[in-house]
Structure 1
Amino acid sequence: MLTDILNKYKIILGSKSPRRQQFLKELNIPFEVKFIDSQEIYPHHFKAEQITEFLAEFKSNAIQLKDNELLITADTIVWSNNKALEKPKDKAEAVKMLEELSNNNHQVITSICLATTKKTKIITDKTQVYFSKLSKDEINFYVNNYKPFDKAGSYGIQEWIGLIGVAKIEGSYANVVGLPVQKLYKELKNF
């Protein structure tokens, strides 16, 4: 159980993601949300988990902590064809990303940074996701109706596109949603 860590620290979630907030609620972790809107810029030569680890820590460093606070920040990307698919800027980019993911597989990579005033720990999880072939009509329907502009790779596995398009996954489903909850729980217990 998390009793020791919850007695010791006030938990701060450095994310406005409703999915990450919901996961913490479901773990029965009381938390406060604090975040700073910032550009998610990283060195252009970074690849895969180098990107998510850098951004999770970057977000963490942007928030000032008190001695009794433990901050959780995270970053998720879709790694496809040796490049990062982040949040789409517009409808055209969302459609293009989904066309790339169609009938293909990719990795969803999430890194979490746990930080106090005295300690920082970064953990990363990877899930392999396999999409079946999506038609142009299916892609357009999803983008028009679900507007996945706040989601890495332009999709939410928990939404319509995940139900009809994801053939299989290897790894954590929660990671694809945006937070590898099992790894987070384990790390919090041992922090």
Structure 2
Amino acid sequence: MLYLASSSPSRVALLKEANIAFEQIIVDYDESLAIKDNPNSYVQKTVLEKERQFFAKHPDLKNVLLADSTVCAQNTILTKAKNDNEAFNMLNLQSGKSISILSAMILILENKKIFNLSKCDLILDKFNPQDMQEYIDSKSYEGKAGAVMCEGFHKKYIKKIIGHQSTALGLNIELLKAFL
């Protein structure tokens, strides 16, 4: 049995679509402990911090999957928006631009530990201001790194995906399947 140490509905959906048997363990992580120096190291430090916090509560579990994602737009690290104004500013940084989504994963199995960083670039059309407002009003951006929702708001604005779409959704499922 694989234990998903994440509250992400997107990661849950990816595992279900890939027919990977798992049990979700929701842990409230303090993601503010990682220093925002550059997107690559930030997301890796965050998932390592999640690992530390998780195993402080569940020291004996094996077959654990931890993950974290961040968005980078115009050299700015975008984490989860705390309010509508932050979400609006994040969307403005992304509109008509290329953004990078970085997903770090730690897979701890019985006899090995895999640590991976995957990247997916999205080239986006300019957002319609009315669509942006409706998205913000819906609060669907909540809990989403960079307020990015590839399966929702952003879907119709994606001109090109470079990398695995699953990475943009929060977990490189193609790589994960190779190790299971």
Fold conserved between structures, TM > 0.5: yes
Q: Does the CA contact (< 8 Å) of 1:42 and 1:51 recur in 2?
A: no
Structure 1 letter corresponding to 2:130: D
For 1:27-71, what per-residue CA distance to the aligned partner results, in whole angstroms no more than 9, with x for missing partners? 22221112321210244353112111111121122222436x211
Equivalent residue for 2:20, pick from 15, 29, 33: 29
By how many angstroms is 1:128 displaced?
Answer: 0.9
Q: Does the CA contact (< 8 Å) of 2:34 and 2:49 recur in 1?
A: no
Q: RMSD over aligned Cα, in angstroms?
A: 1.8
Does residue 48 (structure 1) correspond to residue 39 (structure 2)? The answer is yes
Equivalent residue for 1:141, pick from 96, 110, 134: 134
Cα distance between partner residues in 1 of 2:138 and 2:29:
27
Cα distance between partner residues in 2 of 1:179 and 1:45:
21
Structure 2 letter corresponding to 1:99: N
Partner of 1:111: 104
Structure 2 letter corresponding to 1:52: V
Structure 1 letter corresponding to 2:60: K
Q: How many residues align structurally?
A: 177
Structure 2 letter corresponding to 1:100: L
Q: Larger C-alpha radius of gyration, 1 or 2? A: 1
Partner of 1:175: 167
Cα distance between partner residues in 2 of 1:165 and 1:34:
33
Gaps of 5+ in 2: none
Quote the sequence identity (%). Answer: 23
Gaps of 5+ in 1: 1-9
For 1:132-157, what per-residue CA distance to the aligned partner results, in whole angstroms no more than 9, with x for missing partners? 11132221122113521111111211
TM-score, with length taken from structure 2: 0.89
TM-score, with length taken from structure 1: 0.85
